[in-house]
Amino acid sequence: MEVLRQAIASPENLQGRHISVALRCRRCGSAIETIDHILLTCPFARAAWLGTHMAFTIPEGDNFQLHQWLLTLSRSPYESKSQRRKVFSFVSFMCWTLWTTRNALYFEGKAGSLMEIIIKAEKAFRWYQSSMDVFNDQATSSTIMSSSSSNWFLLASETYKLNTNAAFTIDNRAGGI
Considering only residues 33-52, where is the footprint of Zn ion by CB under 5 A? 42
Give me the least distance between CB of 20 and Zn ion, in Å please: 20
Told to check if 28 binds Zn ion by CB under 5 A, we report: yes
Taking CB under 5 A as the criterion, the residue among 25, 35, 94, 98 binding Zn ion is: 25
Number of residues binding to Zn ion, judged by CB under 5 A: 4
**By C-alpha distance, which of 78, 27, 161 is closest to 11?**
27
**By C-alpha distance, which of 155, 161, 159, 167 is closest to 3?**
161
Q: Which CB, 28 or 119, lies closer to Zn ion?
A: 28
Give me the least distance between CB of 106 and Zn ion, in Å please: 13
Q: Which CB, 42 or 121, lies closer to Zn ion?
A: 42
Phi-psi category of 127—alpha, beta or left, where left has phi over 0 and alpha has psi -120 to 50? alpha
Euclidean distance between CA atoms 107 and 99, whole angstroms: 12
Give me the least distance between CB of 86 and Zn ion, in Å please: 28
Considering only residues 71-130, where is the footprint of Zn ion by CB under 5 A? none
- CA 171 vs. chain centroid, Å, equals 29
Q: Which CB, 98 or 121, lies closer to Zn ion?
A: 98
Give 41: exposed, middle or buried? Use CB within 10 Å, 0-12, 13-18, 19+: buried
List residues near Zn ion by CB under 5 A. Answer: 25, 27-28, 42
